[in-house]
Structure 1
Amino acid sequence: MISLSLLRKRLALPRTSWQLCLLAAIGGTASALLVVLFTFSIETIQSFYLSQKDNYTSLDALSRFHLPIVGGLVILLFAWLTGYQYLRTGIPFVLHRLKVANGIIPLRNTLNQFFGSVVALASGFSVGKEGPAIHLGAACSSYIGNKLNLPFNTIRTLCACGIAAGISACFNTPIAAVIFVMEVILREYKVHIFIPVMIASLTGSMITRSLLGPTHEFGYFNKISLSFHHYPALVILGLILGLLAYGFNRYLVLIIKYSSSIPIVTRIMLAALITGTLGFFVPFAMGTDLSAITFALNNNLHLQLLLVLLFAKILMTITALGLGIPGGIIGPIIGIGAIAGTCVSVLVTGYLPGENLAGDYALMGMAGFLAATLNAPLAALLTVVELSNQLEVVVPAMIVITTACVFSGQFFKNRSVFVMQLEQQGLKYRKSPIEKSLQRIGVLGVLQENINVYQQECSVEVLSSLKNIELLNHVIIESAPKTENLSSYSTFSWLKIAHDPITERVEIVQLQLLPLPSQSTLAEAYLALIEQRDGGVYIYDNDPNEILGIITFEQIRSYLLEGKTTV
């Protein structure tokens, strides 16, 4: 049986292993079960006052007005109990924690995400389930890795696995979940990460299918009938969606910007008041995307009614998310795109061939608006393929997606809504290329363990008299703490051989070693040594006074220049 210490050393290296795959499956299972519990909680609450899930038209107009206000008060009550500073949740927050904390997410933020989003989704706010699913999946899987004291590079991978499992459990789209993680969350494709993420996504989908059934909420799309005669209209649809995505992102960020100085209680209640007022007049705009899409597709609405529904859905979404209601953005984006596509289908009906233009154009609208808003074309493409179960959507969807992304990005400088939110909220999300590269390797995988630790009484002069001077590369001198405080660190110094190229003399240089926890990656070691560009760090596990090994700056330099470390 492999020991935990040996397991941690193996996981510290960026390699695919059965141990990492097993952890991905465990983390994916736990994350998916938590997301299923989240979904059941929403449906259970809704069952007390709705005739069916997300059908807010079964309520009278006054109840639709009151429901979001009551929900806002409950959200504030729970936020007060856990601390308002922990109210920040969602995909942007997860991206931020991946960069600054290796995916480790505070428990109170996760509690606010679970209970706050359950209340928000049950009370009619125009937010989605996938944002909470991503947050809950990331928190659950990273919690397992952190409890096992695994290296930070492994915890980041497990965090990505939890995100994939959460999305897969939420939408039952395992392929799109994997691509979303790689394209939007991690922004890189590495085999040693790709395979565990696939396993976690598969696990999430299997759990959803076993507990909720093999179908998903978008199973009403019929066989697509878009021929090449529709391609010019699809290009126009892509242009409209690109413009719409730019406006959506811009005004969402503006609301975040100008509401940041408003007290949280005022912001939440203002969002509730806007949602209640719009729900009073346009009930199908309330809730997630499912209600709005079903209404737009099944009622043969006039263009004016569709435009009213589109405007109400956009306004509900940007005010709810911009003012701080906990919930996701992808669900409402899918709904808005479907309504926009249905609007275009009304204009082309009678001029172009086809029997199900509303459903076909709604599907294309979902793809284009999702791609342009998130700047994730491949994830959007695979999402509509899996939601519709049709490979025939690939070519028309690619036309809409490429048109929308190029038009939105080229002419309006539109970017991912998550990046814009992070920048506006002042959350760090960028790392230098060097740090990103070094984050992939844990210090336990490359530390030098063949060392000799001597007490301070063994002076440098005595050590320099050793015949085999090369031994000094493995000599560490320990100096006991000056005080009796148990939290004080011992001082470790590394005796290094220095060759003077001018005099050709060999000297012994004593350099102080800096302490670094065993969960760290080479990125933390690099940042600790970058100023002096010499010396090294010593690695400890639980007790800072017990040295496990050292990593020198030369090892880090070797990896950056040659792609490998020298031990």
Structure 2
Amino acid sequence: MSLVSFRTKLAKPEPSWQLCLIGLIGGILASLCIVLFRLSIESLQLLYLENIDDYTTLSGFYRFITPIIAVLFILALAWISKFKYTRMGIPFVIHRLKANYGFIPFKNTLTQFFGGIFALAGGFSVGREGPAVHIGAASSSFLGSKLALPQNSIRTLCACGVAAGISASFNTPLAAVIFVMEVILREYKLHIFIPVILASIIGSMITHAVFGPYHEFEFFAYIKIEFWHYPLLIIFGIGLGCLAKLFNTSLIATLKFSAKYHMANRLVLAALIMGVVGLLVPQSMGASLSVIGSMLEQNFHLLIIISILVAKFIATVAVLGLGVPGGIIGPTLVIGAIAGALMAFFVSLLYPEVNFAGDYALMGMAGMLAATLNAPLAALLTVIELSNQLQLALPAMVVITSAYLTSAQFLKNRSIFLQQLEFQKLPYRTSPVESVLQKHGVLSQMDTNFKVLNTSDNNQIKWLLAGQNPGEQLIIKPNNEESTYKLVQIDMNIHPLDGEDRAIKSTIMPAIDSQATLSEAYFALYKQREGAVYIYHRSKDKIIGVLAFEKIRKILTQGND
């Protein structure tokens, strides 16, 4: 198969082995980048920590100074880039997917890669999934750009990179697929679904090969929740919905407050806040996954649980709102788990013979994530895969439903990612026309039956038009006086008796790159609503096809056969 036919197949919005292959390759590239990212973080942490992500072993002075040192490295990185390329993370990826077909700027990715390493190694209360999504999307879309693939397939390739990045980061292949469909793309299409699954599988396999076949929360014991808990789970879900509303509102308020200050001032303030909070409550530092295990092994006092919850909440809102590069999902899971431990403390007063801390911690993670992101299915599968416990599905659904309804319906809470996008004034919506046309590459609809003429003589053109083959398009090549190609046709709206020369109609043909979608071609012809564009590859003098406006209109009105 030639490279042209390979690209043409990718331009069609339909399942194909070509799209699956390129998605698999993109998933491999994204997974390898995420593995390098994780190894870099863990290697730095083990230089001064006894265990990965366990800051409780550090002295108070080092807990205070570690975030400050990390910020100095982040500021050095920002200074090298002249404080540009600071937009990153999951909201930025959603924006680039909708507005730029998933093309992620390389310099933003470098900032995310190294900034994420410094933030996560420096004890900030951020997650690694934000950088993982950004790096995974950038890695795979970079591949598509280098191969000059159609833009609609690059969007799919970017989604594959996101799935592979999450799967490689957390070893949750199924949750990664649903996260992409529910949170990133916000649509389910079969031709996208299969490549994303393949990319997620390869991400999990590479994680198994490097880090072993384990899940983050496998230390949870078999859950013991019975049906009599369900009224308590509903109450718990309502509380989580309120907590999620408070979290999202606080984070957006912090973003608005910090927007008027320079990046350097914001990051220094974030380091000081994290240092002070870490000094007082060491369990709040880092991703805090270790604190969940500690709560299950020990019976924490009520005041300790409350202090950890408040400290983690404040630290997460402060550092993310002030611009520290990192993810929001990891801290959200931990806040939910601590809230679950708090709920379990009160349940234990009713039933002191059984410890339900692990059960309610898992339920809290699911409910908090669902209410914060407005992504109930992704939250459910994330917690199931992280804990490797399918039996928690039913009780988790009870908590997720009550948390989601409370947050989204009664408190009007929206996805934190969409709120961040609106605050940053980054578009993430497309019109219905664009949404349909962006799924088709111009290669899939162009006509290759054309002839380029080197003459502008009317008599010769009339003679050529009279003898042209059925369906053949005639194009006049630019001469010294003109700079654009023109499509020549018999004007069927004018009777020949009105003048022979007027029976020939020539229209300017806009140039459209072979990577473009029908959306670009449509808006190039939008004003005149007739004529055609010519498709070129790399050079505007290299015409490879013609696309008529009538063909675009037919897809909008009748769909694609």
Q: Same fold (TM over 0.5)?
A: yes
Mapped pair 1:21 → 2:20:
yes
Alpha carbons 1:224, 1:356 under 8 Å: kept: no
State whether structure 2 residue 536 is matched by structure 1 residue 540.
yes
| Secondary structure of 1:539's aligned partner | strand
Kindly indicate whether the alpha-carbon contact (under 8 Å) linking 2:490 and 2:503 is maintained by their aligned counterparts in 1: yes
Quick one: distance in 1 between partners of 2:480 and 2:175?
A: 55
Cα separation, 1, equivalents of 2:345 and 2:88:
38
CA distance in 2, matches of 1:380, 1:504: 72
Stretch moving more, 493-502 or 530-539: 493-502
Cα drift, residue 296 of structure 1: 3.0
Q: Where do residues 151-162 of structure 1 align in structure 2 (5 Å cutoff)?
A: 151-162=150-161
**2:517 corresponds to which residue?**
521
SS in 2 for 1:449: coil
Note closer, same or farther for the CA distance 1:208–1:378 as it changes in structure 2 (3 Å cut): same
**SS across alignment from 2:192:** helix
8 Å Cα contact 2:215-2:385 kept in structure 1: no
What secondary structure does 2:542 align onto? Answer: coil
Q: Is the CA contact 1:222–1:356 (under 8 Å) kept in the aligned structure 2?
A: no
Query: What is the CA distance between 1:299 and its match in structure 2?
Result: 2.3
Q: 1:453 to 1:321 in 2, by over 3 A?
A: same
Q: Are the aligned partners of 1:226 and 1:354 in contact in 2 as well (CA < 8 Å)?
A: no
The alpha-carbon distance between structure 1 residues 317 and 502, as it changes in their structure 2 partners (threshold 3 A), is farther
Aligned to 2:506: 510
CA drift at 1:376:
0.5
Which residue of 1 is the match for residue 485 of structure 2? 492
Say yes or no: does 1:378 pair with 2:371.
no
Once the two structures are superposed, residues 537-561 of structure 1 have per-residue CA deviations (whole angstroms, 9 ceiling, x without a partner) of 1111111122111111111110011
> Does the 8 Å contact 2:449/2:472 carry over to 1?
no
1:283-325: CA deviation from partner (whole Å, max 9, x where unpaired): 0000003033223333211222211111111111111111111
**Superposition map of 1:206-355 within 5 A:** 206-352=205-351, 355=354
Q: Does the CA-based 8 Å contact 2:489-2:504 persist in structure 1?
A: yes
Contact 1:79 1:112 in 2 (8 A): yes
Q: Which amino acid aligns with 2:428?
A: Y
Change (3 A) 1:504 1:311: farther
- Cα separation, 1, equivalents of 2:211 and 2:340: 29
Q: Is the contact between residue 240 and residue 371 of structure 2 (CA under 8 Å) also seen in structure 1?
A: yes
Contact 2:348/2:355, CA 8 A, preserved across alignment: no
C-alpha separation in 2, matches of 1:289 and 1:25: 33
Asked if 1:126 corresponds to 2:125, the answer is yes
- Mapped partners of 2:300, 2:69: distance in 1: 32
The aligned counterpart of 1:34 is 33
- 1:87 Cα shift? 1.7
Mean Cα deviation higher: 190-199 or 434-443: 434-443
Q: Which residue of 2 aligns with 1:368?
A: 367
Partner of 1:8: 7
Q: Secondary structure at the match of 2:84?
A: helix
- Native 8 Å contact 2:465 2:490 kept in 1: no
Check conservation: 1:91, 1:134, Cα contact below 8 A. Answer: yes
- Comparing 245-254 with 298-307, greater Cα deviation is found at 298-307
1:67 aligned residue? 66
SS in structure 1 of the partner of residue 509 of structure 2: strand
The within-5 A match list for 1:132-151 is: 132-151=131-150
TM-score, normalised to structure 1's length? 0.95
AA at the equivalent of 1:556: I
Q: Identity of paired residues, percent?
A: 52
Alpha-carbon separation, structure 1, partners of 2:181 and 2:459? 51
Judge conservation of contact 1:125–1:286 (CA < 8 Å) in 2.
yes
Name the TM-score, length of structure 2 as normaliser. Answer: 0.96
- 2:466 is paired with a residue of what secondary structure? coil
8 Å CA contact 2:446–2:547 kept in 1: the answer is yes
Paired residue type of 1:550 = V
Q: Give the Cα–Cα distance (whole angstroms) in 1 for the partners of residues 103 and 222 of structure 2.
A: 43
* Residue type of the alignment partner of 1:401: I
RMSD: 2.0
Once the two structures are superposed, residues 72-130 of structure 1 have per-residue CA deviations (whole angstroms, 9 ceiling, x without a partner) of 11101011112311121100111111122211111111111111110100010000011
Stretch deviating more after TM superposition (15-24 or 552-561): 15-24
Aligned to 2:180: 181
Partner of 2:550: 554
Q: Between Structure 1 and Structure 2, how many residues are aligned?
A: 558
Greater Cα shift, 35-44 or 498-507: 498-507
Question: Quick one: which amino acid aligns to residue 103 of structure 2?
Answer: I
Tell me the residue number matched to 1:117: 116
Distance 1:389 1:375 in 2: 23
Deviation at 1:389, TM superposition (A): 1.8
Cα deviation per residue 1:489-531 (whole Å; 9 max; x = unaligned)? x411112444439999994432111011110011111222222
Cα distance, 1:370–1:11 mapped onto 2, change above 3 Å: same
Mapped to 2, the partners of 1:354 and 1:228 lie a distance apart of 17
Hey, which bits of structure 1, 4+ residues long, moved more than 3 A?
352-356, 464-473, 496-508
The corresponding residue for 1:487 is none
- What is residue 91 of structure 2 aligned with on the other side? 92
Distance 1:466 1:271, change over 3 A: closer
Give SS of 2:88's match.
Answer: coil
Cα shift at 1:352 = 4.5
Unaligned 5+ segments in structure 1 are: 484-489
